[in-house]
Amino acid sequence: MTIQNRKIGFIGAGKMGSALIHGIIKAGIVKPENLGASDIYEPFLNELNSQLGINVSTDNAVIAQASDILVLAVKPQTLDSVLENLKPYINADKLIISIAAGVPLATYENALPEGTRVVRVMPNIAATVSEAASGISPGKNATSEDLKTALEIFSAVGTAVQVPESLMDAVTGLSGSGPAFIFPVIEAMADGAVLEGMDRKSALTLAAQTVLGAAKMALETGLHPGELKDMVTSPAGTTIQGVRVLEEAGIRAAFMNAVIKASERSKELGKK
């Protein structure tokens, strides 16, 4: 492994940062004592320290100085001030990984010392359960080993693929925002079963497992989603009736537009 015995620090321990920290420890690729996190919200840090035994600090500089790999998990709106604060502690020996939505590699390469190695990643919240979908794009100074390191970290918490930076906004709109598009689907499917008389807990369990099973079939069989759909929709059966209702409601256009709008917002964030 390229990250064995290397120290990883997180600048930002909010929902996404915490999800990645939990996922990395669960995967067992880094020991808790080799992980650190900083955040302005001390209760987050105290919880991570007590639950996982990682090193924490409210001072970004403390974590930056102690880390070989620094993961920037802060909101795009606060990034400029964070980079200014970190600049004195960054050198060519450190790998910077950013998961800030919409922020291009050039932002980091211009704000940090010349030659800084940067890799841009867009993961999603499913890192918490080791099922993240992450897009990875290396900067101009990043080495092949840096790319391997990023792929190793994010593959440990799900699936990671390398993409050109020009497609990172699309990754943000698709997999970065995607879980929030699917959760209402699970809830709505369960609502339908509750209306038919099923108890809420059983309905949610079956709905969530149905989505999980469908996704696993798509990944493991390699078949086109349309072909998989046809395997379930027998002539004049129950499923084709449901499919007709979804098509009448414009389900395809709704999901396409959701991904497009989220991608456009990612582009907007990168311009600020």
Instruction: Please indicate if the annotation marks 158 as binding a ligand.
Output: no
90 is in an annotated binding site: no
Tokens (6 digits) for 133 = 């979908």
Q: Is 142 annotated as a binding residue?
A: no
The response to whether 60 counts as a known ligand-binding position is yes
Residue 135, marked binder? no
209 contact partners, CB below 8 Å, separation of at least 6: none
Contacts of 232 (CB under 8 A, 6+ apart): 239
Q: Would the annotation count 73 as a binding residue?
A: yes
Contact partners, residue 139, CB within 8 Å, separation at least 6: 105, 108, 109, 117, 118, 119, 120
Catalogue the long-range contacts made by 76-84 (C-beta closer than 8 Å, 24 or more residues apart): 76/100, 76/101, 76/102, 76/103, 76/269, 76/270, 76/272, 77/272, 79/103, 79/107, 80/111, 82/11, 83/107, 83/108, 83/111, 83/112, 84/111
Confirm whether residue 74 is marked as ligand binding: yes
- Residue 13 is labelled as binding a ligand: yes
Q: Is 1 annotated as a binding residue?
A: no
Residue 167 CB neighbours (<10 A): 14
Is 260 annotated as ligand-binding?
no
Question: What is the C-alpha to C-alpha distance for residues 194 and 191, in angstroms, rounded to an integer?
Answer: 5
118 annotated as belonging to a binding site for a ligand: no
Return binding residues for NADPH: 60
Return binding residues: 11-16, 60, 73-76
Return binding residues for NADP(+): 11-16, 73-76
